[in-house]
Structure 1
Amino acid sequence: MRADRLVSLLLLLQNRGRLTAPELAAELEVSVRTVYRDVEALAASGVPVVAERGPLGGYRLLGGYRTRLTGLNEAEAGALLLAALPGQAQDLGLGPVLASARRKVGAALPGAAAERMRLVGERFHLDAPGWFREADPAGHLAAVARAVWEQRVVRARYRRWRGEVRRELCPLGIVLKGGLWYLVAASGERADGPVRTYRIARLAEAEVTGTRFARPEGFELGAYWSRSAERLAAAVRQETAVVRLSPRAVKLLPMLFGAAGSEAAESAGEPDAAGWVQVRLPVEAEAVAVGDLLRLGAEAEVLAPAGLRAAVARTVAELAGRYRE
């Protein structure tokens, strides 16, 4: 571990120039005292690192010194795929590996390209989770990720709406969707069973066993996820509501209903005398649709189907009675 840390320290000085001991300690996640010892070790090995005192002081390399120790190992090369998601890489247990890979890439790039990389890192940031929602407490994420990588069977206890189940799973991949982590896995000790999707936050237990499995030939995670998402959308949104909307509600549709809301707003009919329009909006089952449509408040009126209109009316009447009390 210390050899890796010394290389990281050297690459930090090479990529960024002058850095103080506290700055190096924060980057390497060690104490300042450890930084002092590591700098002494670098100097003793012949690396021309010097200390400058004063408020603008710190450590730097002499005379444009550059190291050639910039080759990526396998773990670092794989971690680069998550370079735009440092928080999620940390969740997967790849935070230190990703940081090391980025330092090596920066050291290997010529001056202009390295500066461009630094500027992009300063000016662009990707935050995957949605607004106003806590991140999933995916406590078993790192273990599951290791099982995916090593192709090992996982003994899992999974919480479903109807109770818990115990399964032996062959983990084929992990997907981050809207800030939520999902495991794609085949059931059983062989990966030729049915492939399903599991929300990792609902794993009550996840024991990585010593049993290895062979991945199904031709399985592609991206293709599976696209097909699965399409099937879910088709199964969930089986009803279409006819809704009369105010101009303000039309603007809210994309925000509240996503792509379905955007399509409904674009295909809205002509405004009536009050400026309201009719739209056809795909909705979920009645119990879910009532709650979704009530988010529009008094800016919307459900016209059809009759059952959904009646259900919204009952809910509104119940709310009105409760507030009168």
Structure 2
Amino acid sequence: MKLERLISMIYMLLNNEVVSASELADKYKVSQRTIYRDIDAICAAGIPIVSYQGVHGGYGIVEEYKMDRSLLGSYDVGSLITVLQGMSSVFRDDKAMETVRKLQTIQQGGGMPSLSLDIENRRLNNKELRSIRSAITTKHIVRFDYIDAKNERTSRKVEPASLMYKNQSWYVYGFCLARQDYREFKLSRIVELTVLPETFSRFHEVRPADERPDWLSRDKPAIVVVHIAPNSLAKALDVFMGADKTFNDDGSLTLTLDIGNASNPEWLFSLVLGFGDRAVIVEPPELREMFEAKLRSMLDRYAALRK
């Protein structure tokens, strides 16, 4: 198609000092007359094409229009492309992909990239993620119901300031109108999200994560030891990535992890239950007893169904 050929020609000219009409014609399998018309169309679009005469003549783009390759090294360009491509895969961001194409014009070398980044979470509604990002850009207030760590459901109206991806989860950080303060909300716990027609003018200075208030208070560090059976090693390594690991002679695995807040260990219980009888909480005894009580409660509920 002509449009695809024109776009390809632009990037070819950006990547080369001078390209002859015959070389362009051979590459795109068209006549040189067609190339002349394409060059005219590119010039009409506002891209400054220069014609060079002589044996080694041809077409090029004026240097002032190109990004200076010396500004960014190959590592810098590759890293930026990786991040932008990962972001574009989540947000379907055409502007990000356009930036990627521009960066590729100054990228040195080719071949397989040394790093790729896939931050798309298929368990999450990416439509909601894109809606929140749009609301941040256009300064629209969002409304949603939120299920907090205590399983309490509250209705919130928030002026969204930023999206964050951390610990394999997405969060929105913004000014909560109900609490009149900044809060972080985990996207997986947001339900019935609506972008309101109301806009806000407040300037939100996004503070670094380590400077934000911690609304989930941490008790004294709680060290937990979990024993994993040999037939669940791969799953355990995926689930407990940050734990200290000791591989035992019998092929089993002992994990030691700091859960931070021992007063609310439900998330840990959920993870351990996912292993069935292939994971056992060894220490501390108090936590093990809490887990045993939960198992007995589960058995009682199933027993009640048989009556």
Give the TM-score of the pair, scaled to structure 2.
0.59
Match of 1:314 among 276, 292, 296: 296
Distance (Å, rounded) in 2 between the aligned partners of 1:205 and 1:197: 17
One-letter code aligned to 2:119: A
Compared CA separation, residues 155 and 253, structure 1 to 2 (3 A): closer
Name the SS for the 1:212 alignment partner: coil
Name the SS for the 1:125 alignment partner: coil
Name the SS for the 1:136 alignment partner: coil
Alpha-carbon displacement from aligned partner over 1:83-135 (angstroms, at most 9, x marks no partner):
52425325445x3222322333343x3xxxx342x4364x5321124xxx624
Q: Give the structure 2 partner of residue 97 of structure 1.
A: 95
Distance (Å, rounded) in 2 between the aligned partners of 1:245 and 1:103: 47
Q: Give the structure 1 partner of residue 111 of structure 2.
A: 119
Task: Looking at secondary structure, tell me which structure has more helix per residue.
Answer: 1
Q: Give the structure 2 partner of residue 195 of structure 1.
A: 182
Partners of 1:153 and 1:212 within 8 A in 2: no
Deviation at 1:149, TM superposition (A): 4.0
Q: Give the structure 2 partner of residue 162 of structure 1.
A: 152
Q: Give the structure 1 partner of residue 273 of structure 2.
A: 294
Q: Give the structure 2 partner of residue 53 of structure 1.
A: none
Q: Give the structure 2 partner of residue 220 of structure 1.
A: 207
* Number of residue pairs matched by the alignment: 258
Distance (Å, rounded) in 2 between the aligned partners of 1:87 and 1:276: 36
Partners of 1:286 and 1:308 within 8 A in 2: no
Partners of 1:147 and 1:154 within 8 A in 2: yes
Deviation at 1:220, TM superposition (A): 2.4
Compared CA separation, residues 40 and 187, structure 1 to 2 (3 A): same
Unpaired stretches in structure 2, ≥5 consecutive residues: 17-23, 69-78
Q: Give the structure 2 partner of residue 70 of structure 1.
A: 66
Partners of 2:84 and 2:97 within 8 A in 1: no
One-letter code aligned to 1:148: I
Compared CA separation, residues 319 and 281, structure 1 to 2 (3 A): farther
Unpaired stretches in structure 1, ≥5 consecutive residues: 22-35, 50-61, 73-79
- Superposed, 1:1-325 pairs within 5 Å as 8-14=7-13, 15=15, 18=27, 39=38, 42=41, 45=44, 65-68=59-62, 69-70=65-66, 83-89=82-88, 91-92=90-91, 95-107=93-105, 109=106, 114-116=107-109, 118-119=110-111, 121=113, 124-129=115-120, 134-149=122-137, 152-160=139-147, 161-167=151-157, 169-177=158-166, 180-188=169-177, 193-200=180-187, 202=190, 204-207=193-196, 209-216=198-205, 219-224=206-211, 228=214, 234=218, 240-246=223-229, 253-259=236-242, 262-263=243-244, 265-266=245-246, 280-282=256-258, 285=264, 287-303=266-282, 304-305=285-286, 306-308=288-290, 310-311=292-293, 314=296
Deviation at 1:206, TM superposition (A): 1.5
Distance (Å, rounded) in 2 between the aligned partners of 1:291 and 1:144: 29
One-letter code aligned to 1:99: M
One-letter code aligned to 1:254: L
Distance (Å, rounded) in 1 between the aligned partners of 2:57 and 2:145: 59
Distance (Å, rounded) in 1 between the aligned partners of 2:173 and 2:50: 50
Distance (Å, rounded) in 1 between the aligned partners of 2:166 and 2:29: 39
Distance (Å, rounded) in 2 between the aligned partners of 1:204 and 1:20: 51
Partners of 2:164 and 2:173 within 8 A in 1: yes
Deviation at 1:280, TM superposition (A): 4.7
Partners of 1:170 and 1:188 within 8 A in 2: yes
Q: Give the structure 1 partner of residue 76 of structure 2.
A: none
Give the TM-score of the pair, scaled to structure 1.
0.57
Deviation at 1:213, TM superposition (A): 0.9
Identity of aligned residues (%): 12
Compared CA separation, residues 315 and 86, structure 1 to 2 (3 A): farther
Partners of 1:83 and 1:98 within 8 A in 2: no
Partners of 1:174 and 1:182 within 8 A in 2: yes
One-letter code aligned to 1:138: N
Distance (Å, rounded) in 1 between the aligned partners of 2:274 and 2:295: 14
Distance (Å, rounded) in 1 between the aligned partners of 2:102 and 2:169: 30
